[in-house]
Each structure stands twice: as C-alpha cells, then as structure tokens.
C-alpha cells in the first residue's frame, strides 16, 4: 500500500468541533476519490490517511488534495513496521534505503514527528539514528539548515511512515463546515473569486445568475455554466439557478429614470436571491463587489442595495483591488473564462454614467410605482435549476 498523509490546520480544528471537521474532510475525500480503485480514507489522530494500492493513483490524489480546503500540507508516504518493545528501527531503515531517491540529492536531513509519544525513542533520537544510517549507506551529507532533501518520518501507533516530499494544500476550512451561502454570479472576473473565497472558509456555495434573455444572447449564461463547472471541483457538487431577468428589467425601465436603473436592478436581484436563499437554507448572500470599482459599488449605492434584504451580504473582495482579484482569478483558473466576451444584463438600458449616489428616498418612491412582489414572483417562477458534480 501507498499512502498520502494529510495534515490540517491544527488551531482552527481544535476543541469540540474537531471531530466534525475531520469527518467532513474524510467524507469529502472519499467522494472526490471515489473513482479510484480500492482507496481508503481514514482519520487517524491528528492527520488523515489516504491509502491506495497503485502508485499511479498519486497523480489524481495529489490533484484532489491540492484543492481540498482544510488541507495544510500532504505527502506521499510509505510505511514500515516498528516495535514498541524493542524500539527497533531496522525495518524502517531498510525501507528508506530501498526507496530513497539517491540521485536527486547530495545533502539531507531527517525530520521526525511522533504522533504516538509512547514510542521509547524521542524524535531527535530517531532523526540521528536514521540520519547516521543514510550517511553510512549512501555517503550523503547531513545539512540541517538547507538540505536538498528532507526525509519526513511520522511515528504512529503500529507503523512508521516516511516521505520525501511535502506539498502545500490550499488551507482554509473543509467545505460544508461554514453552512450554505448563495453567490450572485455574473460571469465577470470578480464573482467567481468571491465564491472561491467563501468556499475556502468552509461554505457550500449555491449560485444564481440573472440573464438578459430574450433581449441578450446566451453568452453570459454559458460562461457562468463553465465557471460553476470549474468551481465545482472544490466543493464536488453545485446548484446553479438561472433567473430570466430581461422582462423584469423592461418593467424597471418603464418606471424608472435611467441613472438609477442599475441600483434598482441590483435591489431586484437581491430580493430574488433572498427568496432562493431561503429555499436553499443559505444564511448569506455573496457578491463580487469591490469598493469603488464601478458605480454600483460606491459606499452610497452599496448601502442602498444592501438595505432590501435581511440576510447578511458577504463581499469577500470589498478591500481588494482589480490587480489582486485578477491574480487570484488566474490562480484558480477562472480568469480565461471570465474574460470571454459576453453581454452583461446590467448594461441593458443603462446610461454610460449611472448615479453613483442614489438616494434611498428617491429609490423607494420609484419602487412604489412598480410591482415589486410581482417581479420577484416572476423571477422565481421561471427560474431554471442546473446541477453539477465533480468528478463528473
């Protein structure tokens, strides 16, 4: 058997919630790796072990662990039996000698962690003993501060595990531990990054997109579908609601002066999103707003838009600038899709210079002349729902 030893953020997972977090992560990994043959995922004290019979499964496991929130780091490990009675390390030494990538380094160090403190030798004893053995058999030198190779050893209950690598995980908290949130996805650069950031904090994200059909093309919708597919690789299953918004915008256009239309669109989106959030038992709405980026994201307009819903509106990008957001979009590989040309419904019937400081009293006055409840009902009535799963 081969193993991946998975480490998570100890501090965040301490206390009474720890078992809950661990179980979430185990379940997530089992589900993400379900297509691999004879795979076992198990919570051990302080780490999770993924065991697999075929070495070539590692590539897929590596990919999965790199996108599993809650994982701090992980390594490809093999095991060897150890004896607690004699504290003999012969089998471990032999195994390490057999598998060490001799051509890949000239200096090395050994770093041992004992999960099982009952083992009679200390971590330092083991470092020295294994180190001496490798020096003797390979002629390589020890360098504690800047080695070419680090040999990681973990002493567990029945076995010792050894690894020659340590790969970074994405950090964060296991998906599902932060409840469900509903993300307003536009097909632009920002909202996919906002969704990613909430997933990383443990939220299960449900998506809603408002499209301009029949007045606009399907382009934004296709993009959002692609983006949700990409993001589903982090949470394994997703739901996307597609709300036809063109008719609703028509109503608004008939009853409202051009400069405040964007704010009215946004308020309608929030109301419909709130309704869907209640259906999904989501505790918050998420947007890709970044302060001051465009007219609808000024302090005044953010206030006026937020005011329509009782749900918290999370804006994880509010303090980031476009360059930072773009870098993050590239890192999570949503950027290329986001920059494909489309027709955003928010540009429908909107002047080039919308009002950046809409007054709530004016907005409320205009809305009195609109059938707000009817529009919400209409949005909900014609909503389409799509489900996504990863691996497909």
- The residues of the shown chain that bind ligand ATP, judged by CB under 6 A, are 184-186, 188-191, 209-210, 269, 287-289, 293-294, 296-297, 345-346
Q: Which is nearer to ligand ATP, 55 or 321 (CB)?
A: 321
Quick one: DSSP state of residue 209? E
Least distance (Å) between residue 66 CB and ligand ATP: 25
Least distance (Å) between residue 331 CB and ligand ATP: 16
First to last CA, the chain: 27
State whether residue 377 is helix, strand or coil: helix
Residue pair 142/108 in contact (Cβ under 8 Å)? The answer is: yes
How far apart are the C-alpha atoms of 132 and 171, rounded to whole Å? Answer: 35
> Residue 209 binds which one of Mg ion, ligand ATP, none, with CB within 5 to 8 A depending on kind?
ligand ATP
Of residues 153-212, those binding Mg ion (CB under 5 A):
186, 188
Give which of 204, 208, 198 is closest to 176, Cα–Cα.
204
Query: What are 241's strand-pairing partners?
Result: 208, 385
Q: Which residues contact 87 (CB under 8 A, 6 or more apart)?
A: 119, 120, 121
Q: Which is nearer to ligand ATP, 42 or 384 (CB)?
A: 384
Q: How far is CA 329 from the centre of its chain?
A: 12
Q: Which is nearer to Mg ion, 292 or 374 (CB)?
A: 292
Least distance (Å) between residue 299 CB and ligand ATP: 14
Q: Which is nearer to ligand ATP, 133 or 190 (CB)?
A: 190
Query: What are 112's strand-pairing partners?
Result: 153
> Residue 184 binds which one of ligand ATP, Mg ion, none, with CB within 5 to 8 A depending on kind?
ligand ATP
The token pair that represents 121 in the structure block: 């030798």
How far apart are the C-alpha atoms of 17 and 23, rounded to whole Å? Answer: 10
Least distance (Å) between residue 344 CB and Mg ion: 5
Closest residue to Mg ion using C-beta atoms: 188
Q: Which is nearer to ligand ATP, 232 or 296 (CB)?
A: 296
Give which of 162, 106, 111 is closest to 139, Cα–Cα.
106
Residue pair 290/322 in contact (Cβ under 8 Å)? The answer is: yes
Q: Which is nearer to ligand ATP, 160 or 348 (CB)?
A: 348
Least distance (Å) between residue 38 CB and ligand ATP: 42
How far apart are the C-alpha atoms of 216 and 193, rounded to whole Å? Answer: 25
Closest residue to ligand ATP using C-beta atoms: 188
Least distance (Å) between residue 326 CB and ligand ATP: 10
Q: How many CB atoms lie within 10 A of CB 229?
A: 16
Least distance (Å) between residue 281 CB and Mg ion: 27
> Residue 185 binds which one of ligand ATP, Mg ion, none, with CB within 5 to 8 A depending on kind?
ligand ATP
Taking CB under 5 A as the rule, does residue 235 contact Mg ion?
Answer: no
Binding site for Mg ion (CB under 5 A): 186, 188
């Amino acid at each position: 058997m081969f193993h991946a030893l998975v480490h998570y953020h100890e501090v965040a997972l301490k206390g009474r919630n720890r078992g809950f977090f661990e179980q979430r992560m185990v379940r997530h990994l089992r589900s993400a790796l379900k297509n691999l043959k004879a795979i076992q995922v198990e919570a051990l004290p302080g780490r999770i072990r993924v065991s697999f019979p075929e070495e070539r499964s590692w590539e897929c496991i590596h990919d999965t662990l790199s996108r599993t929130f809650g994982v701090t780091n992980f390594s490809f490990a093999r095991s060897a039996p150890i004896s607690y009675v004699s504290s003999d390390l012969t089998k471990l030494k032999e195994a390490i000698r057999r598998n060490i990538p001799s051509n890949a380094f000239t200096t090395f160090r050994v770093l041992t962690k004992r999960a099982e403190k009952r083992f009679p030798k200390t971590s330092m004893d083991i470092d020295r003993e294994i180190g001496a053995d490798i020096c003797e058999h390979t002629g390589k030198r020890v360098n504690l501060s800047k080695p070419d190779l680090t040999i990681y050893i973990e002493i567990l209950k029945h076995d010792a595990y050894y690894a020659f690598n340590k790969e970074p995980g994405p950090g964060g908290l296991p998906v599902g531990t932060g409840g469900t949130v509903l993300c307003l996805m536009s097909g632009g650069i920002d909202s996919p990054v906002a969704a990613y950031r909430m997933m990383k904090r443990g939220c299960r994200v449900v998506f809603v997109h408002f499209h301009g059909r029949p007045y606009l093309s399907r382009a934004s919708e296709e993009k959002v579908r692609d983006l949700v597919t990409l993001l589903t690789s982090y949470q394994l299953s997703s739901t996307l609601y597609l709300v036809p918004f063109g008719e609703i915008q028509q109503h608004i256009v008939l009853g409202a002066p051009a400069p405040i239309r964007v704010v009215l669109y946004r308020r309608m989106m929030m109301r419909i999103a709130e309704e869907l959030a209640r259906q999904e038992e989501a505790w918050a709405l998420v947007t890709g707003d970044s302060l001051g980026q465009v007219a609808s994201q000024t302090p005044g307009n953010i206030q006026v838009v937020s005011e329509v819903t009782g749900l918290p509106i999370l804006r994880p990008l509010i303090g980031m600038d476009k360059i930072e957001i773009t870098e993050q979009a590239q890192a999570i590989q949503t950027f290329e899709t986001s920059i494909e040309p489309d027709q955003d419904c928010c540009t429908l019937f909107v002047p080039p210079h919308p009002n950046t400081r809409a007054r709530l009293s004016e907005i409320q006055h205009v809305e009195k002349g609109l059938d707000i409840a009817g529009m919400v009902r209409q949005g909900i009535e014609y909503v389409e729902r799509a489900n996504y799963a990863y691996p497909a």
